Amino acid sequence: MGDDVVVAIVLIVLAVVLFTGLVLAGASIRVLREYERAIVFRLGRVINQKGPGLVLLIPAIDRMVRVSLRTVTLRIPPQEVITRDNVPVRVAAVAYFRIIDPQRSVIEVEDFMGATLQIAQTTLRSVLGKAELDTLLSERESLNASLQQIIDEQTEPWGIKVTTVEIKDVEIPERMQQAMARQAEAERNRRARIINADGEFQAAARLSEAADVISPNPVTIQLRTLQTLAEISSNQGSTIVLPLPLEMLSSVASHARDGQAGPPPKATPPAMEEGEPDARRLEPGEAAPGDS
C-alpha cells in the first residue's frame, strides 16, 4: 500500500507541474503576424518593441500591447457646417491613416482611434466653415489636401500618419438646390446664346469674304446662281424660284423710263408724184381726186 500511495503522489505532482508549465508557457509565448507589433511593459516600464513572429514574456511580470500597422479607414459622421456665405450644409467624410510609431501610439495617447476621430471632426467643421458653397462643390481636391495636412500635423505626435482625407457627401437644403438649378439653367442659356452669336459672326465674316471674291466678276455670280439652282432641283418636292440678274432688271427699268418720256413721233407719209392717185382712205361720199 505504501508504494502505491507514493506512486500516486508522484504522478499527481508531475501532472501539476506539467499543467503549471503549460499554463506558464501559454502566458509567456505570443505569436505576432507580419502587420503586428508588440509593446512590452516590464513592471510598468517599456523595455522593447517586438515582432513579428514569436515573442517570449515573463509571466506575471511582462505585459504586451498589440499594435496593428495596417491602414485604418475612419468614417467621419455627417457634420453640420455653415459655409462662409451662410449656407447650412451637412458634410460627411472619410479618413485613411496608419500607425508609423507603435510605441508613441500607445504611450502618448489613450485611445488613438477616438482621438483621431475627434480631431477629424473639428478640423472638418473649421476648414469647411471658411469656404464658400461654390468652393465646397467645385474645389474638393484642394479642401481634401488642406484637411489631410491639418489632421496629419495634429496626429503626428501620436505616431499616426494620415494619408488621405476625402469629402464623401455634401447635403444641401432643397431651396438652395432649386436656386442652384435655376442658376445653372441661366448659365447654360447664356453660353448657348454666346455660341450662337459667335457662329453667326463667323458665318457673316465668311460670306463677306466670299462676296468680295465674287463681286468683281459677274460671270462668277451667274455660275453661282446656276450651281444653287442645280442643288435645289435635286429635291423633287421643292419649288424653284428663278432669280433675275440685276443687269436685266436695270435694263427693263431703263426702257420703262424711256417709254414714260412721251409717245414716239408719227411718221410723215412720203410726197406723192403728180398724177399718182392719193392712197389715203376716202371718207364715205367723198369723190376721189381726178373724178369730176
| 179 part of a folded domain | yes
Treating both helix axes as pointing N-terminal to C-terminal, what angle do 140-155 and 112-128 enclose, rounded to 10 degrees? 140
Residues 109 and 154 both lie in one domain:
yes
Which of 115-119, 199-203, 285-289 is predicted most confidently? 115-119
Share of the chain above pLDDT 90, in %: 30
Claim to verify: residue 80 and residue 137 sit in the same structural domain? yes
Domain annotation covers residue 245: no
Does residue 263 sit within a domain?
no
Report how many domains make up the chain.
Answer: 3
The predicted pLDDT at position 279 comes to: 46
Please check whether residue 280 lies inside any domain of the structure: no
User: Residue 256 is placed in which grid cell?
Assistant: 420703262
| pLDDT tens string 1-17 | 566 777 777 778 788 87
Q: How far apart are CA 165 and CA 73, in angstroms?
A: 10
Identify whether residues 168 and 130 lie together within a single domain.
yes
* Mean predicted confidence (pLDDT) in 204-228: 74
Which triple of cell numbers denotes residue 113? Answer: 482611434
Q: DSSP label at 139?
A: -
Query: Is the per-residue pLDDT at 155 higher than 60?
Result: yes
Domain around 15: 9-68
What digits encode the pLDDT tens for the residues 219-253? 676 677 767 766 666 666 666 665 555 555 566 56
Maximal C-alpha separation, the chain: 209
Final residue belonging to a domain, choices 43, 68, 93: 68
Same domain, 134 and 89: yes
Query: Does 147 lie in the same domain as 82?
Result: yes
What is the reported pLDDT for 1? 52
Say yes or no to pLDDT of 270 above 60. Answer: no
pLDDT of residue 183: 80
Q: Residue 99 burial (CB < 10 Å; 0-12/13-18/19+)?
A: buried
Instruction: Report if residue 128 sits inside a domain.
Output: yes
Q: Which residue has the higher pLDDT, 272 or 59?
A: 59
Other Cβ atoms within 10 Å of 103 Cβ, number:
16
Instruction: Give yes or no: residues 164 and 94 share one domain.
Output: yes
What DSSP designation does 292 have? -
The stretch 266-277 carries a mean pLDDT of 49
Q: Are residues 149 and 199 in the same domain?
A: no
Residues 160 and 94 in one domain: yes
pLDDT at position 208 over 70: yes
d(CA 145, CA 241): 68
Grid cell in block for residue 36 = 503586428
61 and 109 fall within a common domain:
no
Radius of gyration of the chain (CA): 54
Between 6 and 263, name the one with better pLDDT: 6
Looking at residue 206, its pLDDT comes to 84
Residue 257, pLDDT above cutoff 80: no
Residue 269 located in a structural domain: no
d(CA 114, CA 207): 72
Regarding whether 45 and 30 lie in a shared domain, the answer is yes
pLDDT tens per residue, range 40-84: 998 889 988 888 888 888 888 888 899 999 999 999 999 999 888
Q: Is the pLDDT of residue 260 over 70?
A: no
- For residue 258, being part of any structural domain is answered with no
CA distance 16 to 39: 32
Distances (CA, A) of 90 to 80, 102, 142, 207: 5, 34, 19, 55
Average pLDDT taken over every residue of the chain = 80
Instruction: Work out the average pLDDT over 12-31.
Output: 77
**180 shares a domain with 166:** no
Gap between the Cα atoms of 201 and 211, Å rounded: 15
Residue-level pLDDT at 11: 79
Tell me: the pLDDT tens digits for 167-196? 988 888 888 778 778 888 888 889 899 999
Judgement on whether residues 91 and 179 belong to the same structural domain of the protein: no
**Average pLDDT of the segment spanning 141-163:** 93
Residue 205, domain member (yes or no):
yes
